[in-house]
Amino acid sequence: MSMPIAAPDRPRFATLPPLALYVHLPWCVRKCPYCDFNSHEARGDIPEERYVDALLRDLESALPSVWGRKVVSVFLGGGTPSLFSAQAIDRLLAGIRARLPILPDAEVTLEANPGTFERQKFAGFFAAGVNRLSLGIQSFDPAQLQALGRVHDAEEARRAAEAALMIFGNVNFDLMYGLPRQTVEGAQADIAAALAFAPPHLSFYHLTLEPNTLFHRAPPPLPDEDTAADIEGAVHATLAHAGYAHYETSAYAKPGRACRHNLNYWQFGDYLGIGAGAHAKLSFADRIVRELRWKQPKQYLAQVEAGAPLQEETIVTKDDVGFEFMLNALRLTEGVPSSLFAERTGHPLALVARAIDAATAKGLLVPDPTRLVATELGRRFQNDLLELFLPAPRRVAVPVTPMRKVEATGVVR
- The two beta strands, 19-25 and 270-275, are parallel
Mean pLDDT throughout 153-168?
Answer: 93
Structure-derived torsion over alpha carbons of residues 131, 36, 324, 225, reported in degrees to the nearest 10: -100
pLDDT digits (tens, 9 = 90+) for 47-64: 999 999 999 999 999 999
The pTM assigned to this predicted structure is 0.91
Is there a cis peptide before residue 256, judged by omega within 30 degrees of 0?
Answer: no
CA nearest neighbour of 273 among 293, 302, 244, 250? 293
pLDDT of 21 reads 98
pLDDT of 149 reads 78
- Length of the chain measured in residues: 413
Measured distance CA(93)–CA(193) in Å, rounded? 33
pLDDT digits (tens, 9 = 90+) for 50-101: 999 999 999 999 999 999 999 999 999 998 999 999 999 999 999 999 999 9
Q: In this structure, are residues 78 and 48 in contact, taking their beta carbons and an 8 Å threshold? A: no
Q: In this structure, are residues 271 and 291 in contact, taking their beta carbons and an 8 Å threshold? A: no
* Sign of the CA dihedral with 147 first, then 151, 153, and 156 last: negative
Q: Quickly list DSSP for 145-178.
A: HHHTT-SS-HHHHHHHHHHHHHHTS-EEEEEEES
pLDDT band at 33 (very low <50, low <70, confident <90, very high): low
Show the domains of the chain with their CATH numbers.
19-265 (3.20.20.70)
pLDDT > 80? residue 25: yes
Q: In this structure, are residues 149 and 33 in contact, taking their beta carbons and an 8 Å threshold? A: yes
pLDDT digits (tens, 9 = 90+) for 247-271: 999 999 999 999 999 999 999 999 9
